[in-house]
C-alpha cells in the first residue's frame, strides 16, 4: 500500500514549530516531543505488542505507522518519531537481533574477534534491507496529514558497534571498549562500515519523507574524552556532512539534524562544531553551562530527567517552569533527557506537554508585551 504513495506530494505542514526552533527561528510556544514516545508506556501499544513480536511491529509499515501515531492521537506533541529501532542496521548487515522480554536486545552471535567482521554484509543494499522503514515513513507522513513533522533517526556508529560486540545491553561496554584498545584498526574498519550504512539509511529516510533526523550516540558516556574524539566524533561529523552532500546530489532539500550523545557533556564543545543544528542534552548538565560552551546559535533539546514523570502534577509543573526558565524559549526544543520509562502514567505525559506549551506561551507573550 505505502509503496504506491507519493514521496513528493505530502499534505501541507500545519505545525512547523520544531523545524523553526531547530533552525533558530522565532516560535509562539516551545515545541516538545519525547524520546521513545511511540511505545512501551502506552496501554494501546502493550496490547498490540502482546500479539506481535517487537521486530514484527517494526518491520510492518502499517503497524509501525499505527504505533507512531499513538502518542500523536493522545497528546498535543509537536513532532512524531517513526517507530523503529537503532538495531535495524546490524540486522541489515546480516546479524540476528532478538528483543527478549525483561532483557531487551540480544545478539545470539555477537562479534568476538576481528575475523568476525568477514561475516558482515558490508555492501548491503539499504533500500532493500531497510525498505520497510522507508515505507513506514512515507505512509506515516500521509497519515499525519501535516499535523506535525516526522522525525527519522539512526544509532551512531560507536553505539551500534558496542551492541554488536557486547551482544546486548551492558553497563560497562568492556568488551566493545577492549576492541578500541586491542584492535584499533579493525575498530575503525567496523565504524566505517557502520558509518556508510548510516549515511545511506538517513538519506533514504529523508527521501521517504522524514523532516528531521536524530542520531543517537546512546553510549557516549562509556568513553573517555580521548576515546570519544578518536572513535566516535569523526564518524558523527562525517555523517552530518555526507548526509547533506548526498541529499544535495539528489536535489532533495536538507533537513535539520539532531545529535544526542547520552552522558556526553564532556564533549559538548566538539559536538557543537559538528554541523548539527540541534544538540540533545541529558539531565546531567546545566542548560546555562551548555550554552556557555556551545554559544547562542545552536538549538538545544532536552533535558528533563525521565524519572520526573513519576512526580505529582504540581511538582511536574514546577519542574517544567524551571527547565524553561533555564533554557529560555529561543533555540530550544523541550524533551526528556533520555527515553521515557515503561511504567510512566500517560496522564503525566499529557500534563508535561500541556504545561510546556502554556508556560512558554506566557513567557513569550510577557516578553513581547514588555518589548512593545
CATH number of the CATH domain containing 322: 3.20.20.210
Q: Please give the pLDDT value at position 71.
A: 98
| Mean of pLDDT values over 151-163 | 98
- Residue 3 domain-assigned (yes or no): no
Does 1 have pLDDT greater than 50? no
pLDDT at 3: 47
Spatial distance between the Cα atoms of 357 and 70, rounded to a whole number of angstroms: 20
- Tell me, yes or no, whether 358 lies in a domain: yes
pLDDT band at 2 (very low <50, low <70, confident <90, very high): very low
Residue 71 lies in a domain: yes
Banded pLDDT at 372 (limits 50, 70, 90): low
Residue 1 is assigned to a structural domain of this protein: no
Domain that holds residue 219: 16-371
Is residue 206 one of the residues assigned to a domain?
Answer: yes
What cell was used for 231? 572513535
Is residue 109 domain-resident? yes
- Biggest CA–CA distance in the chain, Å, is 68
- Residue 369 is predicted with a pLDDT of 87
Residue range 206-231: mean pLDDT, rounded: 98
Q: Is residue 145 part of a domain?
A: yes
Give the C-alpha separation, 184 to 354, whole Å: 48
For the entire predicted model, the pTM comes to: 0.97
Query: Taking Cα atoms as reference points, which of 225, 236, 220 lies closest to residue 338?
Result: 220
Instruction: Report the pLDDT value the prediction gives residue 4, as an integer from 0 to 100.
Output: 76
Query: Residue 236 falls within a domain, yes or no?
Result: yes
pLDDT band (50, 70, 90) for residue 298: very high
Residue 256 predicted with pLDDT over 80: yes
DSSP string computed for 300-347: EEEEE-GGGGGS-HHHHHHHHHHHHHHH-SSSEEEEESSPPPTT--HH
Which of 203, 201, 215, 112 lies closest to 157, judged by CA?
A: 215
- The kind and range of the H/E element at 60 are none
Distance CA 364, CA 326 (A): 14
Helix (H, G, I), strand (E, B) or coil at 279: strand
Higher pLDDT, 196 or 7: 196
Q: Average per-residue pLDDT in the chain?
A: 96
* Mean pLDDT to the nearest integer, 223-227: 98
Nearest to 136 by CA among 69, 200, 195: 69
Percent of the chain at pLDDT exceeding 70: 99
Beta-carbon contacts of 195 under 8 Å, excluding residues fewer than 6 positions away, are 157, 235, 238, 239
- Residues catalogued as catalytic: 36, 40, 49, 85, 163
Query: Total domain count for the chain?
Result: 1
Mean pLDDT throughout 274-289?
97
Amino acid at each position: 500500500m505505502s509503496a504506491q504513495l507519493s514521496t513528493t506530494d505530502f499534505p501541507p505542514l500545519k505545525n512547523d514549530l520544531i523545524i523553526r526552533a531547530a533552525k533558530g527561528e522565532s516560535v509562539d510556544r516551545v515545541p516538545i516531543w519525547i524520546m521513545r514516545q511511540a511505545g512501551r508506556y502506552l496501554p494501546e501499544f502493550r496490547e498490540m505488542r502482546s500479539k506481535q513480536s517487537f521486530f514484527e511491529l517494526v518491520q510492518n509499515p502499517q503497524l509501525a505507522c499505527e504505533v507512531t501515531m499513538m502518542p500523536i492521537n493522545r497528546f498535543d506533541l509537536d513532532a512524531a518519531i517513526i517507530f523503529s529501532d537503532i538495531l535495524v542496521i546490524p540486522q541489515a548487515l546480516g546479524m540476528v537481533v532478538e528483543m527478549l522480554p525483561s532483557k531487551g536486545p540480544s545478539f545470539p552471535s555477537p562479534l568476538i574477534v576481528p575475523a568476525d567482521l568477514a561475516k558482515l554484509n558490508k555492501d548491503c543494499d539499504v533500500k532493500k534491507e531497510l525498505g520497510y522503514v522507508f515505507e513506514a515513513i512515507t505512509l506515516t507522513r500521509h497519515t499525519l496529514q501535516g499535523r506535525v513533522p516526522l522525525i527519522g533517526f539512526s544509532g551512531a556508529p560507536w553505539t551500534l558497534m558496542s551492541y554488536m560486540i557486547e551482544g546486548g545491553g551492558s553497563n560497562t561496554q568492556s568488551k566493545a571498549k577492549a576492541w578500541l584498545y586491542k584492535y584499533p584498526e579493525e575498530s575503525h574498519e567496523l565504524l566505517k562500515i557502520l558509518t556508510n550504512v548510516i549515511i545511506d539509511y538517513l538519506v533514504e529516510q529523508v527521501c521517504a519523507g522524514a523532516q528531521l533526523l536524530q542520531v543517537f550516540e546512546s553510549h557516549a558516556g562509556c568513553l573517555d574524552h580521548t576515546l570519544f574524539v578518536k572513535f566516535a566524533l569523526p564518524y558523527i561529523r562525517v555523517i552530518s556532512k555526507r548526509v547533506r552532500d548526498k541529499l544535495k546530489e539528489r536535489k532533495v532539500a536538507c533537513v535539520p539534524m539532531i545529535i544526542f550523545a547520552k552522558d556526553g557533556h564532556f564533549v559538548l564543545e566538539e559536538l557543537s562544531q559538528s554541523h548539527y543544528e540541534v544538540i540533545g542534552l541529558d539531565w546531567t548538565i546545566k542548560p546555562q553551562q551548555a550554552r556557555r560552551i556551545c554559544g547562542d546559535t545552536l538549538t538545544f533539546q532536552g533535558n528533563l530527567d525521565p524519572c520526573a514523570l513519576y512526580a505529582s502534577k504540581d511538582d511536574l509543573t514546577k519542574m517544567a517552569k524551571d527547565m524553561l526558565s533555564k533554557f529560555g524559549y529561543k533555540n530550544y526544543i523541550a524533551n526528556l533527557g533520555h527515553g521515557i520509562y515503561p511504567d510512566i502514567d500517560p496522564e503525566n505525559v499529557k500534563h508535561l506537554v500541556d504545561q510546556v506549551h502554556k508556560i512558554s506561551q506566557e513567557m513569550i507573550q510577557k516578553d513581547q508585551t514588555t518589548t512593545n
